[in-house]
Amino acid sequence: MNSAVVILIAAAIYVSMYYTYGKALQNKVVKADPNRPTPAHRLYDGVDYVPAHPLVLYGHHFASIAGAGPIVGPAVAMAWGWLPGLLWVWFGNVFIGAVHDYLALMSSVRYDGKSVQWIAGKLMSKRTGIAFELYIWFTLLLVVAAFVAVTAKLLTTTPEAATATILFLIIAVLLGWLLYKVKIDFKLGTIIGIILLAIAVWIGLNHPLVFVEGQTTVDTAEYTTAYHYWNIILMIYIIAASSLPVWVLLQPRDYLNAYILWFGLLFGGLAFVLLAKDFTAPAFTSWSAHVIKGTKPVASPFWPTVPLVIACGALSGFHSLVGSGTSSKQLDNEIHGLLVGYGGMFTEGFLSTIVITAIAVYGVQLTGLEPAKWATEYITKGGLGTFIGGYAKGVSEFYGVSETFGKTFATLWVSAFTLTSLDTATRLGRFAWQEVFGMVVDTSEGVWKFITNKWVASILIAGLGTLLAWGASYKTLWPAFAGMNQLLASIAMMTGALWAAKVQRAGKWSWAVLIPALFLWITVTVALIWYIAVVPLSGATLVAVKGSLLIGLLLNLLLAWDFYLAWKKPEEEYAAAAA
């Protein structure tokens, strides 16, 4: 196998499925109507409900959902070999992840931009809604903690990316002002923004932001000091980003970041297609490769543990929060939903394909591992760094640029992904907090106004998330986040299945949602039982990770029971739930 064949097959799959399966979902399940006013118009408030150009919203949505998951997950899963991971990315992306994302977005649009947890409460029971709301908030707290930790680490170890990141924020505010206040032509604003972006990258490469000399070496006192500086800066940033009107920073920043992400995909994808390099990594190692790590690596069966490893590239519950949290409030026309929700997920799958390709081509050279030892030793020598190194080698070999430039750009690329997910997760945490305390509005309006104030709600989740990141490493937080995240995907998918069958009355097309929902629920539930029973942890990590997963597992069983009871009800009982 070689890089050109894999990337071209991926492109063919995504384009053909978008215009066949995706269009069928749009017409048979969602029944999108271009003449139905969206919440962005009906409930316009200039803060959260703001109609956006479809490309701007696609950029915001893609940049928000594409955190570290579509890169880190496939990079780690290479321990099983490149073929199992690739097949799961393509299958999961087309039949589960993209369906999940699209329905979460469009069901929210039909319910005034309400969250997926609110919809679950409406379609199942009040108990379901409250339990789901609490579950979501704690999941988002872990998301914020994990992404503060990983973003701070990236910006500390790669100060070139830190400079460019700060400049991006300034440019984004400028672009938001030009587009929404000055109201310059959209294309002209885009050109100005892209030129400024290129200048920011050039300044970053030549003037790295260094807080402490020697900070780039992990596990040193200098690194820890700089890491804590970034913790504080990121906390202030996400409080502001989640509280300000979306047009000031979030929309234009994510839109501009999307150009970095698209350029990275095109830059790397073109290089690996035209190089047509043979794969050197093994196609298959073992169905029980050593992938999951606790106090030591353990043999991890591909099924059912894969959803804990490959998240965003195939499917991710966090996407349902983005789709039903911020994107649904900005959709200008229902027809744009397919591009934003379905197309956004396909773009992630294509990204994961490039990650697997880069490691499959250069992984053996970078890790120094013989293929025979790949199954047991890759987890300690490979991963995110192997992708960055492989990507750098590919673009260096094809374009003739230095490997240093390639590594810097790849790191900038990854940090752009993590930062967008971080501020979106904080904003969604604010929404979830406000919805949880909606129950006290009638009994104590004063308390409700204070506790749901947008600044109070943002400070709470940002402060607690940063506190967790301050003393815990990314590797400690990630397993808890991954488990809760994929449980969330299974619950959101069941909510979508209920909406399709009972409210939309999609007939046989309801099975296109229900079958993957049940498959996902069984897979994730068995995976978490396996993780809790088998993976060795100790001390505070044991309490934090396995404790949270156990609570999530019990909650998952409760929500599945509520889904069963709701599914048995006749369609007529859902007449009042129709949007």
Task: For residue range 467-509, list pLDDT tens digits in order.
Answer: 877 766 655 566 667 777 888 888 899 999 999 999 999 999 9
Residue 112 inside a domain? The answer is: yes
Confidence of residue 579 (pLDDT cuts 50, 70, 90): low
pLDDT of residue 479: 60
Residue 442 has pLDDT above 80, yes or no: no
Alpha carbons 184 and 102: distance in angstroms, whole number: 32
Read off the tokens for 224: 């820890």
Does residue 520 form part of some domain?
Answer: yes
What angle, rounded to 10 degrees, do the helices at 344-367 and 82-92 form?
170
For residue range 17-53, list pLDDT tens digits in order.
999 999 999 999 999 999 999 999 999 988 789 998 8
Residue 187 in any domain: the answer is yes
Tell me the sheet residues that pair with 278: 2
Taking the C-alpha atoms of residue 90 and residue 94, their distance in angstroms, rounded to an integer, is: 6
Quote the pTM value: 0.83
* Residues sharing a CB contact under 8 Å with residue 219, sequence separation 6 or more, in sequence order: none
Q: What is the pLDDT of residue 406?
A: 82
**pLDDT at position 284:** 93
Q: How high is the pLDDT of residue 103? A: 96
229: tokens are 């500086």
In a domain, 329, yes or no: yes
Can you give the CATH number for the domain in which 194 is found? 1.20.1740
The answer to whether residue 521 scores a pLDDT higher than 80 is yes
Q: What is the SS3 assignment for 292? A: strand
Q: How far is CA 95 from the centre of its chain?
A: 18
- What is the rounded average pLDDT of the residues 454-473? 82
| Residue 234 covered by a domain | yes
Q: How confident is the model at residue 1 (pLDDT cuts 50, 70, 90)?
A: confident
pLDDT of residue 139: 79
Greater pLDDT, 249 or 378? 378
**Distance of alpha carbon 512 from alpha carbon 79, whole angstroms:** 31
In 3-state terms, what secondary structure has residue 472? coil
pLDDT digit string (tens) for 188-208? 988 998 899 889 888 888 888
Give pLDDT, residue 477: 63
Residue 153 lies in a domain: yes
Confidence category of residue 535, pLDDT binned at 50, 70, 90 = confident
Number of domains making up the chain: 1
- Indicate the burial class of 296 (C-beta count within 10 angstroms; 0-12, 13-18, 19 or more): exposed
The overall average pLDDT reported for the chain is 86
Among the residue ranges 145-159, 309-323, 492-506, 528-542, the one predicted with the least confidence is 528-542
Residue 312 has pLDDT above 60, yes or no: yes
Give the number of other Cβ atoms within 10 Å of residue 263's Cβ: 15
pLDDT in tens, 239-256: 988 888 878 887 788 778
User: How much is the average pLDDT of 86-90?
Assistant: 93
Judged by average pLDDT, the poorest of 305-309, 375-379, 510-514 is 305-309
> Of all residues in the chain, what percent are helix, strand and coil, respectively (each to 5)?
80, 0, 20
| Cis amide prior to 208 (ω within 30 degrees) | no
Q: Given a cut of 90, is residue 337 above it in pLDDT?
A: yes
Higher-confidence position of 460 and 484 = 460
| pLDDT reported for residue 575 | 63
- What pLDDT does 525 receive? 86
Question: What does the pLDDT read at residue 473?
Answer: 61
For residue 63, being part of any structural domain is answered with: no
The reply to whether 84 falls in a domain is yes
Q: Indicate if the pLDDT at residue 576 is higher than 70.
A: no
**Parent domain of 258:** 3-41+72-577
pLDDT at 476: 58
CB 390 within 8 A of CB 363: yes
Residue 403 banded pLDDT, cuts 50, 70, 90: confident
Q: Give the tens place of pLDDT for each residue, 98-137.
A: 999 999 999 999 999 988 888 988 888 878 877 777 778 8
CB 29 within 8 A of CB 500: yes
Is the pLDDT confidence value at 12 over 70? yes
Helix or strand (DSSP H, E) at 413? helix 403-436
Residues 275-295, mean pLDDT to the nearest whole number: 88
Confidence of residue 393 (pLDDT cuts 50, 70, 90): very high
48-76 per-position pLDDT tens digit: 899 988 988 988 788 778 777 788 788 88
